Structure 1
């Protein structure tokens, strides 16, 4: 009865009083991270770790790792806001629906499951929007700085890198400073060597990654998922090609620090055919005249038109800023999934024939697509070169993202108060 009364008293505290009980745990430039936000994120991560069957790290280590993730995310959100990158409600709903479908649920069923687990669905939506916004700005920065030459593609194909297969990896990073301080580098190398020795002695890789890794996937036990070998940084690719399942690398030095990789599984990839897709496309280009906010308003108006029954091809021909497809009613022809960028590929991959996407944003502007179909085609020389270009781009993008995050983290004003 005493416990019930305590719960009733706590739940009866007015909202303003609960806010007074909160406290700032970090200042990041002009924004703050509150203890309530940290606690919520820590609880979410704990559930993920428990579900994976791994040991939950000590509270101080877990809090530190989660807070660092929130700090880095906050810095990226700030950069996204500066350049006008937004996530529309339509894009957010589409992403949430896709997650629900992947788990065999409807969106409403997923909402119920989240709330049964003790989490607020409104906060889940907010976190998802922020994750998408941070991802969008990372790729916007990286894609705008990637250059690929025909010579690079020639060398890639000459080395037969298209057929190298895929690997599932775990990763630990012990980061070094951007100024290459000798004492700090020596300390990081010693820590990496100690972790390697612990792994060889039988310690759980995922537990050590969660506790000690500075990598973006630390809180997932260092899991990177399945990656094409030809999209890995050359330092990693050279190592994993000769590894066996379960094998762990010695620490590998890179400009960002010391890496330890574990090969979980591998599979060959000798595909001779490829799925191709066909869509109709409407684009509103954003530039010095049309801001991202203005572009979103325009695309939403065009989206309403096609939902109200206006012919998609006609709307595209009259309004699209994609000057190559607009005269064709927005028809993009047949193409491989990521020819027009990873974001476009992500949207169309799960669509059904005749389906119209919600408006979504890329570096070029705002888009709507109508899915016309999918087919399997032989891989032509042109497609091989396109695949090679995509693989080289993805490799460079990941390297740029890693260095950019280190750079903006170092530039930001951060005051940790716990």
Structure 2
């Protein structure tokens, strides 16, 4: 979540907002996306934001027409994801948007009012910023829901990953360049893609461009404008088709073109480092049950507190905690088990929740207290010292495998969603390419 808030301030100007029509003079339509639109002013702001991020490094950006097309595609994907989230029942309340904005302001060490003033000074409206935060939260929740329903990791996969990690003992910093191919690509499209990836490989071999600059200029990946950086990954986070290859590479080395499900790729091993070593790790664990009265669009904080006070009075009067949790708790993950949360570390559910549990004696019941989720009543049922070294190692392996699987499935989902959408570019190079019936992509040449 911290990483999300740290980058969302820079990303928000990429968000296309319908409300912009209400706060600005009507301007031209840059792109029609299904039943929505991206205004030319929104596209211009998004391009300007990318140029600002590359201040002093403008030579690393692609030509203006290519940059505009890349940014337009990003906005199209964002628009499609927001629409899918809303159509499938994903909701973000005004209170959650306020909390996100407050967190962004705090991370930038300013107040919300100072943030508002800063946006105004930069020529951005607070309403547009607020809408873009809502869009980012909607997409984040859509991705979380997708992960819960589409991604699973077996114990056998965790065992294999741990065995591989012990064998290699390394993590890998990777970057890539993607030349995308459409679903059911024709032989001509495949030949054009292969010609382009070979041209990019030639530029790198001749030293005419470094890998990050080539990614910014030529890659079709959503992370192209970040230089194709994939970050640090363990062996279990690398697709099996690439893992053996990566282990044989030296830092700085670039693979030959690789044909994958999404197109042709070049993969660079940026650096390597030793993976963290496991071992005994003793921690204090708590066990508790809770009843949650959620605050959302249908119940106010005052109504939720009143219900929590009533439930607390019944518990004090002798009512069974587990029965009340099964009947009244709004936490679906623990409701069926009478509110039981199992064993957890103090800050696992947040510092506020942990502090309330830690302050109780075993068997004690808290007064109602508030967190971002709503109003809680907690009953502490136990405490212990536990060695979680192996448990943490397995949990980390499960998380990394899940993250790799999610990335693969999510990118496939985005490609399918983009392929099924009606997208009509009205201005710029993208419109010209569309009018020319998908003209061939830019092919790098010597001296480009």
TM over 0.5: yes
Matched residue, 1:145: 150
Q: How far off is 1:397 after superposition?
A: 0.9
CA shift at 1:299, angstroms? Answer: 6.4
Instruction: Return the match for 1:50 from 52, 55, 58.
Output: 55
Q: How does 1:109-124 map to 2 (within 5 A)?
A: 109-124=114-129
Q: Distance in 1 between matches of 2:389 and 2:221?
A: 38
Q: 1:60 offset after TM fit, Å?
A: 1.0
Indicate the residue corresponding to 1:225 in structure 2: 231
Instruction: Give ranges in structure 2 of 5+ residues lacking alignment.
Output: 1-20, 316-320, 357-368, 428-448
Q: Which position in structure 2 is the counterpart of 1:320?
A: 330
Task: Give the Cα separation in 1 of the matches to 2:23 and 2:152.
Answer: 54
Asked whether the equivalents of residues 209 and 222 of structure 1 are also in contact (C-alpha less than 8 Å), the reply is: yes
1:19 maps onto 2:25 in alignment = yes
1:345-384 aligned within 5 A: 348=350, 353=355, 357-359=371-373, 378-384=387-393
The reply on whether 1:254 has 2:254 as its aligned counterpart is no
CA distance in 1 between partners of 2:376 and 2:163 (Å): 38
2:233 matches 1:215: no
C-alpha distance in 2 between matches for 1:95 and 1:301: 18
Is the 2:177–2:265 Cα contact (8 Å) retained in structure 1?
A: yes
What is the CA deviation profile of residues 239-274 of structure 1, one whole-angstrom value per residue up to 9, with x for unaligned ones? 333333333332222101112233333332224266
Whether 1:157 and 2:171 are equivalent positions in the alignment is no
Q: CA offset at residue 144 of structure 1?
A: 0.6
2:130 matches 1:130: no
Kept after mapping to 1: 8 A contact 2:308/2:377 = no
Q: Are the structure 2 counterparts of residues 153 and 227 from structure 1 closer, same or farther at C-alpha, using a change threshold of 3 Å?
A: closer
Matches within 5 A, 1:220-369: 220-272=226-278, 296-298=296-298, 301=301, 304-305=304-305, 317=325, 318-322=328-332, 324=334, 331-334=341-344, 348=350, 353=355, 357-359=371-373
**Secondary structure at 1:247 match in 2:** coil
Structure 1 residue 29 corresponds to structure 2 residue 38: no
SS at match of 1:390: helix
Q: Secondary structure at the match of 2:143?
A: helix
**Cα distance in 2 for residues equivalent to 1:377 and 1:109:** 45
Q: Which residue of structure 1 aligns with residue 440 of structure 2?
A: none
Provide Cα deviations, 1:314-339, integer angstroms capped at 9, x if missing partner: 799442344646877664531699xx
Offset of residue 177 of structure 1 = 1.2
- Range with bigger deviation, 106-115 or 167-176: 106-115
Of the three residues 406, 410, 413, the one matched with 2:419 is: 410
> What is the rounded CA distance, in whole Å, between the counterparts of 2:352 and 2:121 in structure 1?
28
The Cα shift of 1:409 comes to 0.6
CA 1:368/1:173 → structure 2, altered by over 3 Å: closer, same or farther?
Answer: farther
Tell me whether 167-176 or 318-327 shows the greater mean CA deviation.
Answer: 318-327
Structural RMSD (CA): 4.2
Give the stretch that moved more between structures: 376-385 or 24-33: 376-385
The 3 A distance-change label for structure 1 pair 72 and 267 is: same
d(CA) in 1 for partners of 2:352, 2:371: 10
1:398 to partner: Cα distance: 0.9
Q: Return closer, same or farther for 1:185/1:115 CA change in 2, 3 Å cut-off.
A: same
Q: For the structure 1 residues 150 and 189, does the alpha-carbon distance in structure 2 shift closer, same or farther, using more than 3 Å as the test?
A: same
Residue 400 of structure 2 is aligned with which of 367, 391, 398? 391
Distance 1:112 1:376 in 2: 49
Could you say which residue in structure 1 is the equivalent of 2:7?
none
CA displacement 1:182-219 (0-9 Å, x = unmatched): 22122112211211221232413333222321111122
Tell me the distance in 2 between the aligned counterparts of 1:28 and 1:240.
39
Structure 1: tracts of 5 or more residues without a match: 1-14, 286-294, 338-344, 361-366
CA distance in 2 between partners of 1:103 and 1:77 (Å): 26
The CA distance in 2 between the partners of 1:312 and 1:230, in whole Å, is 47
Task: Give 1 or 2 for the bigger CA radius of gyration.
Answer: 2
1:6 corresponding residue in structure 2: none
* Structure 2: distance between partners of 1:143 and 1:329: 21
Whole-Å separation in 2 of the counterparts to 1:272 and 1:231: 18
Task: Select 1:205's aligned residue among 194, 208, 211.
Answer: 211
2:186 aligned with 1:188 = no
Distance 2:421 2:246 in 1: 35
| Residues 317-374 of structure 1, C-alpha deviations (whole Å, 9 max, x = no match) | 442344646877664531699xxxxxxx8x84999846954239xxxxxx9899x9xx
